[in-house]
Every structure is written in C-alpha cells, then in structure tokens.
Amino acid sequence: MAITIRLCLALLVQLLALQCSAITLDYENTIDTDSLVWSSGLDQPIWADKSAKQGGHLHLTTPSPILHWRRFGPETPTVISETLSKLQIPLLARHPNTDALIPMLISEWAINAAERQITLRIDPSSRWSDGVPVTTSDVIYTLLFLTSGGHDTEYQRNYINQILESITVHNPSEFTLHFYQWNNSVFDFLCDFRPLASHFYQSSDAWPYDFDWMIEPVTGPYEINSDPSPNEISFYRTPNWWGDKQKFLAYRFNPKQVTLTVQSAKTPAKFGIGSVDVINTTSDANWKSEWLRKLTLTKHINRLQFAHQGERPFAALVFNSSKHSAEQQRQIMARLPIAEALTFTSEMHALINNLIAQEPAEPVDIDVLYTDPADGSWLAELVLKSIKYNVRLHPIWVNQRELKFRLKTNDFDIALLKTSAKDDASTRFQSLLDLYQQPGPSWLIYDIPIKRYAYWQWLKLPATIGTRISSDIFDPFDPVTGGLFWIDRKLRADTLSQSDNEKIEERPPVIHDLHLSSDKEELNNKE
C-alpha cells in the first residue's frame, strides 16, 4: 500500500514533465498480465566462478580528475560518470557468451513483437542501496527526467524520444514499453537503461550543481563512501546486497572496498610497491618496456594479454576542411602513423581511399582535440612517432561541451570524435559530425581488440579468464562482464612482507586468444 501511495504522489511531478516529453504515459491497465507468456532467461549458464572469495581492498587508477559525482548533466560523459553508471543495474542484459536475454532488475518479460511492445516485471527483491524497493515509479521518473528538456540531457532525450513511443503502468512492479519500431535497438535500449532513484531525486535540491557531490542510491553492489575529492574516490560493497542471491549476479563483485586514484607520475612507483594492484599496459611502449620486465623479475607480478570481442569505441580523426585543402589533408593523413602508434594487433580501417605514403614534406603543426583521457597515452605515442614524418601534433583535452562548441564554430584542426559502441555509436557519431558544417571532412576509424595488464599475483582470475565480450578483465563494477576476479588477502600480506632481494624466475606473459576455450585461457592461480 505504501508503495502504491508513493507511486500516486509522484504522478504530479511526473505529469508536469510530460509537456516537454514525447513519450505517452498511460495508467489504464488494458493488458491482462496474468495471461501473458513470460520469459526469465534462467536456462542460460552462469559465467562467474563459484570458488571466488569475497573481501579485500582493491586499488586502481583512473585517468582524469574527478569533477563531480553525477551520471548526467553538464560536464558529462566523463570517465567517472561512466563508472558511476556501472554502479546501477540495467533492466535486462545480454548473456556475455550466448547473447541471450537474461534478467537483471527485471526478473521476467513478455514480448509482443506484432504490437512492438514488451511487458516487464521488476524483480521483487531488487533494492536501492538505502533499502527502498525498485518500482515502476523509478522507471517513469527516469524517462521523464531524461526527456523533459531541463536537465542538460540532450543526447538521452533525443535517443529515448526516437525509439520509445509510450509506457503503460500496470502496478508498482509491472509495466509495458511501446516502441516505434521493433528491432535490435529495442533490446539495446533495455540493456542500457538504468533507472534513477525517484525518491532521492524528487526530495533533494536543485539540479544539477546541488547534486555534484551527493551520493546517489544504487542498485549495484558498490556505493560511494568517500569525501569529495578531485584525486580519489572510494566505494564500499553494500551489505546484504540483493544481487548476491540472483543467478547472474552471484559470486561476483568480490572486493569489499574499491579505491580509484587519479593517475600521476607516481603511479608506476606505487604499482611497484603494491599500492596499486593492476595497471593497463596495452601500448607497446609499456608492454615491451625494460622497466616492466625487470619488475617481473623482482616482484610477484604477472602480465596478461587478453583479446576480446567486446564493445569497441567508434572513433574518428576529423579534419577541419577550411584550414587544409583536400590535398593537404590527404598528405597529412598519409603521414600519420596511426597503426604504428597503437599496437601491432590493432585493427585500423581507413575511410579515405588511395592513401599513399608521401615523401617527407614541410613540417606542419596540428592541434588534436580529444575528450577521453584514456586516449592520452596513445596520442602521446602518436606525437612521438609523427615527428619523423614532419607532423608536429599537439593533443588538447577538452570536455564534451567545448568539443561541440568548437565543432559548431569551426575552431579546430583535427578532432578525435569517439562514442561507445553500446550507445548506438554510428548514430551518436553522426550527430557529433553534424555539428561540423563544413563539407568533406576526412577521418580514420580505429579500434584495439586487445587489452594488456600487469598485475600483482594476489589478484585471482577464474580458469576461464573472461567472457567473449570482456573488454576490461579487471573492471570491478560492470553488471555483465565485471567483478569476476577476487583478492587473495593472505597472499597479499605474505607477498608484501617478502624481501625485494628474493630472486624470482621470469614468467612469460599469459596470452589469451580471441575467446578460445582452450588451455591458453588457463591461469595458474597457485603461484
């Protein structure tokens, strides 16, 4: 009864938002949900390791300063906003190995493809981290919040309004979504949609800046437990988390605490003494470095190369046509050693025809705008490798808002446009490109289908190291592919107490091919 009353009280706020939203909200129950044919996805296999042990404190790094704790609004997306999104469980997910639909926040669903609609039943055990049950009120509020036009959520508003026609609410735990078209984009939407806690947003202060450092309730296993800081953020595991009893969430998300510290010049030294548990060494400069090899001879550190079929960024280097002629663009692009700056296994597809390497030409200085701090390392390598071709690149990090402004005002040399594959990449990329009004831009698409790591041996991986689509083996948060590893706390204590003078036999890197179920996936966890 209390949930129903709260749902009704929320209507006044929600209905006010309808004026700016293209979504139709219907409370007339015209569907007999008891007569529907429900699916649960529980026939699919689990991918977690039942021998995983909970506990320990995981120390990772993040590439950029922490500006706020918001998922949406101004100055998003950022690395941290994407991390915060992973703290929320989506409605549904695709099984990472079989691609079948599996339950997340939704325990059962009934599809009516002819009517372009799906009826969803919220898991009755699902809870926000403050103990409040998840209800249809949260789903409605989220849709209206993101599409109302007053929350600086332009991309989300356009995306939702283009795909979702209406929502029909049956009761606090069941609702039906009606779509304009019935295709794979429907399931992409369901697997990416993460509700907001309506009771938190409705009862709190003005959006957005009063929310910058407020701790949002989560449906996932970790919540922020930290003071505001631009350099560090900590997460604690929610006690008695509801997901521990769910088939596809159990035996995962094992560290009790996770701390992310902003990367700095001190990061390698911190890793060398065990204050950081794992570092990304994907670039050749790191993977083949003498520093890393020597470290494996004096420390109990493993190296891992993991090939995956996961989501890869849809990215492009876009030229400002007004600053360089078509011939100049062709010559400069031909001189940029893109593949050389990434890795020898990188896939690189050129959308420019007949690129032929040119003889060294006059030196040229070019600014490169980029928004993802994670691209800083390979751009730095690109700078070094481009010098021999008389191209002097100057990478400049900007936020999404500034990038859009500079595209609109034609104020750039080259812009690195990048979107996540899960966010309807080609459409979102085109919307960014549409901001640039000049004709004839040129671009290169790149992606990296491997990740490389150096990690301390107290981090334990399952025998099958990751899933088919695991793009980050040591991601502690992702609801589908994350949280598969665990910490051997005794081994950590014993390792850190050992002398640095101990001689350690050199161990070759573990090379994991593109999701092959073979001995190459086996990792010796007894070292």
pLDDT of residue 312: 59
Q: Select the more confidently predicted residue: 380 or 302.
A: 302
Pick the range with the lowest mean pLDDT from 230-234, 393-397, 519-523.
519-523
Domain containing 428 — which CATH number? 3.10.105.10
Residue 208, preceding bond cis, omega within 30 degrees?
A: yes
293 plus 319 within the same structural domain? no
Query: How does residue 36 score in pLDDT terms, banded at 50, 70 and 90?
Result: very high
User: Which among 89, 117, 86, 82 has a CA at the least distance from the CA of 103?
Assistant: 89
Q: Select the more confidently predicted residue: 268 or 360.
A: 268
Count of domains for the chain: 2
- Please give the structure tokens belonging to residue 307: 């090939």
pLDDT of residue 478: 96
Domain closes at, from 428, 445, 462: 445
274 plus 383 within the same structural domain? no
Q: Select the more confidently predicted residue: 470 or 431.
A: 470
- pLDDT of 380 strictly over 80: no
Pick the range with the lowest mean pLDDT from 63-72, 75-84, 332-341.
332-341
Considering the domain boundaries, does residue 7 fall inside one?
A: no
213 plus 353 within the same structural domain? no
pLDDT of residue 435: 58
215 plus 339 within the same structural domain? no
pLDDT of residue 377: 67
Pair 60, 431: CB distance under 8 Å? no
Pair 413, 366: CB distance under 8 Å? yes
- Total count of residues recorded for the chain: 527
Considering the domain boundaries, does residue 54 fall inside one?
A: yes
User: Which among 389, 511, 434 has a CA at the least distance from the CA of 155?
Assistant: 434
Query: How does residue 426 score in pLDDT terms, banded at 50, 70 and 90?
Result: low
324 plus 291 within the same structural domain? no
DSSP H or E run through 166:
strand 164-171
Find the distance separating the first CA and the last CA of the chain, reported in whole Å: 56
Domain closes at, from 407, 429, 445: 445
360 plus 482 within the same structural domain? no
Domain containing 277 — which CATH number? 3.40.190.10
Q: Report helix, strand or coil for 145.
A: helix
32 plus 53 within the same structural domain? yes
For residue 34, give the amino acid letter.
D
246 plus 178 within the same structural domain? yes
User: Which among 259, 212, 213, 261 has a CA at the least distance from the CA of 235?
Assistant: 259
What is the DSSP annotation of 205-223? -STTGGGTT-----SSSEE
- Residue 164 CA to residue 180 CA, distance in Å, equals 6
Most confident of 23-32, 337-346, 482-491: 482-491
Considering the domain boundaries, does residue 127 fall inside one?
A: yes
Domain closes at, from 430, 445, 460: 445
188 plus 218 within the same structural domain? yes
Considering the domain boundaries, does residue 433 fall inside one?
A: yes
135 plus 256 within the same structural domain? yes
pLDDT of residue 365: 86
- Residue 189 CA to residue 187 CA, distance in Å, equals 5
Considering the domain boundaries, does residue 12 fall inside one?
A: no
Considering the domain boundaries, does residue 518 fall inside one?
A: yes
Considering the domain boundaries, does residue 8 fall inside one?
A: no
Question: What residue numbers bound the domain in which 432 lies?
Answer: 313-445
- Residue 229 CA to residue 20 CA, distance in Å, equals 35
149 plus 235 within the same structural domain? yes
pLDDT of residue 427: 57
Considering the domain boundaries, does residue 37 fall inside one?
A: yes
Query: How does residue 30 score in pLDDT terms, banded at 50, 70 and 90?
Result: confident
335 plus 286 within the same structural domain? no
- Please give the structure tokens belonging to residue 100: 């079948």
Pair 395, 368: CB distance under 8 Å? yes
